[in-house]
Structure 1
Amino acid sequence: MIPFVRDFDFAYGRTDSVSPLIQRLVAHNPGPFTFTGTGVYVVGRPEPGARVAVIDPGPLNPAHEAALLAAVKGRIVSHVLVTHTHRDHVPLARPFAEKTGAVVLAARPPVRETHASGALDEEDDPDFAPDVVLTGGEVIAGDGWTLETVATPGHASNHLAFVLKEENALFSGDHVMGWSTTVVAPPDGNMRDYLASLDTVMARDFATIWPTHGPPITEVAPFLAAYRAHRLEREAQVLARLAAGDRTIAEMVPVLYAAVDRRLWPAASLSVLAHLIKLVEDGVVEAAPEAALSAEFRLV
């Protein structure tokens, strides 16, 4: 079982100091894929004149924008960092950067359709373009803080995470979330990439993970081990359904996700597809005519 963490103290419009170098405020955009809303992080010292960075400014929402501007008032915003270009993370990045004089840094936006259906509300912002393109390995520094970029594709092909070296902490975006498992939705989401990125994060032995949605993860090693084990268990369950005679994703999902709200089954279908695409690539499963939501699958 994944030791999910779901309870934390927050209020919309309020900025909380959650560590010596991190302040957080939560946008008022709760939902089945955003939990309580998008958590925006201000990285840097809280005193006036300090140079700070903002991670994932969030959605276009006048009240949220006003709260974020108030949170950084008196300080210099040098960088706006984006973990990925889904609409709950990035739309405010450009307007906020223009008002604060910051530079926007992110990976290059995806070149293909983000999702295979309208099952999710996490589509990309098609108008977003960063000032500086990140690929992983870059180091960004300010007054008393140092952020390292880590490429973590899987949830999205252009997903990044950011390491706050002074606190051995990771801003994980949607790659790892404390309140839920992460959606991996083809064609932009990729299960093989996701598992490899998870291994990358596990190898770093972080003290804390700060997701964009929900509270921090402080028992990092056991949480990540359970998170990865869940993915492998789901893959085994998909293989078991094929062995039992299921041939389509529509047959598998009601069994595999019987305890999950039916409204989330379309998203679950995409996750199953991500597993099946990996299994087809592994030569364990074959698809007809090709690996897609409507395909038929069989064990090789």
Structure 2
Amino acid sequence: HEGATPPWLPGVMERRTGAAVAVVLAATGALVVLPTPRLVLEAVAFEQIRRWYSWMKNILPWVHRVLGRGGAAATAASPSCQCQVPGLPALLPIQRLSDRVIRVVACNPGKFTLNGTNTYLVGTGKRRILIDSGEGRASYIPLLEKAMAEAGCEELEAILCTHRHYDHIGGLESVYAALGKRVPTYKCTREGPEWSEYKYNSHEPSTVEFLHLEDGQLFETEGATLQTVLTPGHSEDHACFLLLEEPSIFAGDNVLGHGSSWFEVLDDYMASLRRMAALIKKHSPGFQLLYTGHGPEVAHAERKVTEYIRHREAREEQILQVLRSSRRGTSLQVARTIYPSVPTSIFFAAHSNVRSHLFSMEKRGMVKRAFWELWSVAE
């Protein structure tokens, strides 16, 4: 009263503080000891680790430059590179795939990039279009220069980027340096709350001024016409390019030459696969190839895309079976059941795909969620 502390207040505050501490300690102990909270906490923590691991890839181009594997020094490298990965057929570093398309592998083989990122020189004249630029490895630029010289290509008319992941656009600056100038570079840009589900913050050079890609936008060079087909899912800005003269599709990372691809939002990815299937069917018979972002080209395009769609549908049923048998489980438990012996580096992507499946299935009323990460089949 009148500014004085009531004599009973310190005792009450002490008791309340003690009770609050006891509640916090009890809750912490429950999270650690009780099975369900502990598993939920483990799944949430694993997802944060996966995101941190993905973010760490942002510094890879910088690491390559420090180690002398990328940047302006690339022109001093020998025009050859290693495109072989154990268990996969080797690709030639430079290979003509049609009268209009030459593949140049970006010399960055790995678990996710397979033989390396495929870049494509498109057209038949002295000015051509380059699709993707690799990640900036030093040995790529001499290969690109050799491919251009052998094809009679004197300059690039434009560079089209399938999406923003560093292994596809990290080499843009080294390409500019080799050409001695910047060329128009196009990439889809997506902004707004409708794209907020996409969380993967991959490397995107701040020094590159991208021109925006529009769905259906045409790019013409001697001997080739490319039509833009926006295909989100793998990333929000993913785009494919339909080569009208053949016809064929530059598939980016929507479809790979080996195995299945990672995606960030399943619903968008499935819609994009179905759009690709419809385009292939529209141009059949006569459709030629899928020029993939990684691995060899695909001759049986409709069959391959259908396999990708069915694979996702089968994985969804597999997730339901796991949840039915266990009654409930976290995304991490489901992923461990489906992928019991996958290496950790690959398991990050596998777990991410399982989570994307679960979020999609939740939207469609197939599963329900409690405590952020505890999933069960919806009744």
- In structure 1, runs of 5+ residues without a counterpart are 117-121
- When Rg is computed on C-alpha atoms for both structures, the one with the higher figure is 2
- Matched to 1:242, the amino acid is L
Greater per-residue helix proportion: 2
Does the alignment pair 1:247 with 2:361?
Answer: no
* Structure 1 residues 169 and 8: CA distance shift in structure 2, 3 A: farther
| Contact residue 44 and residue 53 of structure 1 kept, 8 A | yes
Residue 359 of structure 2 aligns with an amino acid whose one-letter code is I
Report the Cα distance in structure 2 between the residues aligned to 1:8 and 1:234, rounded to whole angstroms.
29
**1:288, CA displacement in angstroms?**
2.3
What is the CA–CA distance in structure 1 between the aligned matches of 2:277 and 2:188, rounded to whole Å? 22
Deviations 1:9-67 (A, max 9, x none): 413xxx2211100111112211110001011100011x5xx220000111112221232
Unpaired segments ≥5 residues, structure 2: 1-86, 281-286
2:273 is aligned with 1:194: no
1:34 match: secondary structure? coil
Is this contact kept in 1: 2:141–2:174, CA < 8 A?
A: no
Q: Report the counterpart of residue 138 of structure 2 in structure 1.
A: 62
Give distance in 2, aligned partners of 1:195 and 1:9. 29
Q: Is the 8 A contact 1:91 1:128 kept in 2?
A: no
| Identity fraction in percent | 28
1:146 counterpart = 2:146: no
Q: CA deviation at 1:266?
A: 1.6
Normalized per residue, the structure richer in strand is 1
- Residue 215 (structure 1) aligns with: 296
Cα separation, partners in 2 of 1:275 and 1:113, compared to 1, 3 Å: closer
Residue by residue over 1:186-232, the C-alpha shift from the partner in whole angstroms, topping out at 9 and shown as x without a partner, is xxx21000000000000112421000101011011222211110000
AA of the residue aligned to 1:62: A
- Aligned counterpart, 1:284: 366
- Structure 1 residues 194-203 or 101-110, which shifts more? 101-110
Which residue of 77, 87, 92 corresponds with 2:156? 77
Q: Report 1 or 2 for greater relative contact order, CA contacts < 8 Å, sequence distance ≥ 6.
A: 1
Of 259, 265, 270, the match for 2:352 = 270
2: distance between equivalents of 1:102 and 1:143? 17
Kept in 2, the 8 Å contact 1:6–1:215? The answer is no
> Contact (CA 8 Å) 2:198, 2:265: kept in 1 or not?
no
Letter matched to residue 153 of structure 1: P
- Alignment-mate amino acid for residue 206 of structure 2: D
Q: What SS does structure 2 have at the residue aligned with 1:66?
A: helix
Whichever residue aligns with residue 33 of structure 1, its letter is F
State TM-score, norm by structure 2.
Answer: 0.68
Matches within 5 A, 1:1-300: 7=89, 9-11=91-93, 15-45=94-124, 50-73=126-149, 74-97=153-176, 99=179, 100-108=181-189, 115=199, 123-125=202-204, 127=206, 129-184=208-263, 189-205=264-280, 206-245=287-326, 246-258=328-340, 260-290=342-372, 295-300=373-378
Instruction: Provide TM-score, normalisation by structure 1.
Output: 0.85
Contact kept, 8 Å, 1:97 with 1:104, in 2: the verdict is: no
Looking at structure 1, the residues matched to 136 and 197 of structure 2 have their Cα atoms a distance apart, in angstroms, of 22
CA drift at 1:298: 1.6
Q: 1:110 and 1:75 mapped to 2: Cα distance?
A: 36
8 Å contact from structure 1 (residues 94, 104) kept in 2:
no
Moved over 4 A (4+): 109-116
